[in-house]
Amino acid sequence: MRILGIETSCDETGAAVIETESAPIRSGSENKKVTLVSNVLASSLSLHSKTGGIIPETAAREQIKYIIPVINEAIEQCNNLTIGDIDAIAVTVGPGLIGSLLVGVETAKTLSYIWEKPIIPVNHLFGHIYANFVGENSNVKIQMSKAEDIEFPAVALVVSGGHTDLVLIKDHKKIKWLGGTRDDAAGEAFDKIGRLLNLPYPGGPAIEKAALTGNTKKFIFPKPMIDSDDFDFSFSGLKTAVFREVKAMKQLSNETIADIAASVEEAIVDVLIYKTLKAAQKYKVKSILLGGGVGANQKLRDELILNTKYKIPNTEIFVPQKFLCTDNAAMIAAAAFYNYKPVEWKRINANPELYFY
Ligand code: KG4
Ligand code: ZN
């Protein structure tokens, strides 16, 4: 079957087509091969980097311009396929920015009605998890696992601009939230600290780049809640610690920016890895899955793989390719394939507050 995915929860406008050899998964823990046929993304990021953050109305106005060309392009990129060859439409219904979500949801509903295709509403957070099920996983140095090899139970770490969550997946229908951030998400911390360091938006990739030449030993920042007895996170204290350091300085040299960036990156990565492995051990999982924009961070990817291999060698670690970690529509189509529940178009609504439970 072929599913057209549509994603517009934040500043990106995405459309993708996935193809599977089997009927959609409606229950259980079965895994099937999902092939990515086309993947198109338009971003208004350059507009937001000028303002140091996303302006919701600007994002939605841009998405209205992009959405139809992006969907057209995603279908055109599927050699010799026509709309008749698409079996279903999957769309992100939340969480996200309401204006942005509405662009994708209303477009998907209209297409579902006109083309007479089933439509499946998808939770964006589940999408980040299902990025792991799209094609082959990233082979960061040692790993060559295939998506269809993912075994349950699994623990997923979802780290994005708005979320930092650990969830336990017993099978496609049984997903239990274990813990999440009590304040800023990891990506949000990167973005806010990036701003304190005068780095361009988004802060995550900018801090990663600056950290390459930094010394992690020059600044020692807190690793919030690393020893707490739960699976919760907190990153606002880290931001405050950086704020205090920066405020006490007369001038912020490139060398100091690099040193702070390296220590911040290390603090965030250490906490994320420690808690993820703790959850994996507690629930004796067979797989660890990474998802979300922060999952594109090379240090997080490398160290998560190394620590898993070294500390819990019987657990497989899955890391999607970087373009599948940041927002995209392929993961939304994959999530719909594995949780195939079409809903009448009239009953689908955008829900900015949607969560895991
Ligand atoms: O998943 P995503 O694309 O959008 C949301 O659902 O929020 O995640 C965006 C977040 C931003 O906070 C961005 O700074 C962060 O992911 N990010 C990174 C990297 N690339 C994106 N953080 C650290 N290192 C990166 N390479
Ligand atoms: Zn996202």
Q: How far apart are CA 112 and CA 13, in angstroms?
A: 18
- Residue 200 Cβ contacting ligand 1 at under 6 Å: no
Q: Which atom of ligand 1 sits closest to the CA of residue 265?
A: 23
Alpha carbon nearest to ligand 1 atom 13, residue: 204
Instruction: Establish whether residue 121 lines the binding site of ligand 1, counting it when its CB lies within 6 angstroms of any ligand atom.
Output: no
Which three-class secondary structure state does DSSP give residue 336? helix
> Cα of 204 to ligand 1 centre, how many Å?
6
Ligand 1 near 96 CB (within 6 A): no
Dist. CA 58 → ligand 1 center (Å): 19
**What is the distance between the alpha carbons of residues 179 and 154, in angstroms, rounded to a whole number?**
15
Residues near 68 by beta carbon (within 8 Å), at least 6 away in sequence: 107
Q: Give 191 Cα–ligand 1 centroid separation in angstroms.
A: 8
Q: Give the pLDDT confidence score for residue 185 in this predicted structure.
A: 97
**257 touches 210 (CB < 8 A):** yes
**How many other C-beta atoms are found inside a 10 Å radius of the C-beta of residue 269?**
21
In short, whether 296's Cβ falls inside 6 Å of ligand 1 is yes
Task: Give yes or no for residue 208 CB within 6 A of ligand 1.
Answer: yes
Is the CB–ligand 1 distance for residue 135 below 6 Å? no
Ligand 1 lined by 293 (C-beta under 6 Å): yes
What pLDDT, on the 0 to 100 scale, is given for residue 288? 97
Measured from the Cβ of residue 114, the count of other Cβ atoms closer than 10 Å reads 9
Note the pLDDT of residue 29.
78
For every residue of 208-252, DSSP letters joined together read: HHHHTT--TTS-----TTTT-SSS-B--HHHHHHHHHHHHT-S--
| CA-proximal residue: ligand 1, atom 8 (nearest) | 293
| Residue 323 CA to ligand 2 centre (angstroms) | 12
Ligand 1 atom nearest 12 alpha carbon: 3
Whether the CB of 194 sits within 6 Å of ligand 1: no
E strands present in the chain: 2-7, 12-20, 34-43, 88-94, 119-123, 154-159, 164-171, 174-180, 287-291, 316-318
Query: Whose C-alpha lies nearest to ligand 1, atom 22?
Result: 204
Q: Judge if pTM exceeds 0.85.
A: yes
Residue numbers in the chain where pLDDT is lower than 70: 138-145
Q: Which two tokens stand for residue 70?
A: 């992006």
Does the beta carbon of 54 sit less than 6 angstroms from any atom of ligand 1?
Answer: no
Query: Cβ distance 29 to 172 under 8 Å?
Result: yes
- Can you give the pLDDT at residue 63? 97
Ligand 1 neighbourhood includes 295 CB (under 6 angstroms): no
Q: Give 124 Cα–ligand 2 centroid separation in angstroms.
A: 6
User: What is the spatial order of strands in the sheet that 88-94 belongs to?
Assistant: 34-43, 12-20, 2-7, 88-94, 119-123
CB of 8 shorter than 6 A to ligand 1: no
Residue 21: its pLDDT value, please?
86
Residue 294 CB less than 6 A away from ligand 1 = yes
- Which whole-number Å values give the CA distances from 294 to 111, 187, 208, 213, 327, in the listed order? 32, 6, 10, 20, 11
Q: What is the pLDDT of residue 143?
A: 46
Which ligand sits nearest to residue 187's alpha carbon?
A: 1
Residues 6+ apart with CB under 8 A from 281: 312
- CA–centroid distance, residue 118 to ligand 1 (Å): 31
Q: What is the pLDDT of residue 249?
A: 94
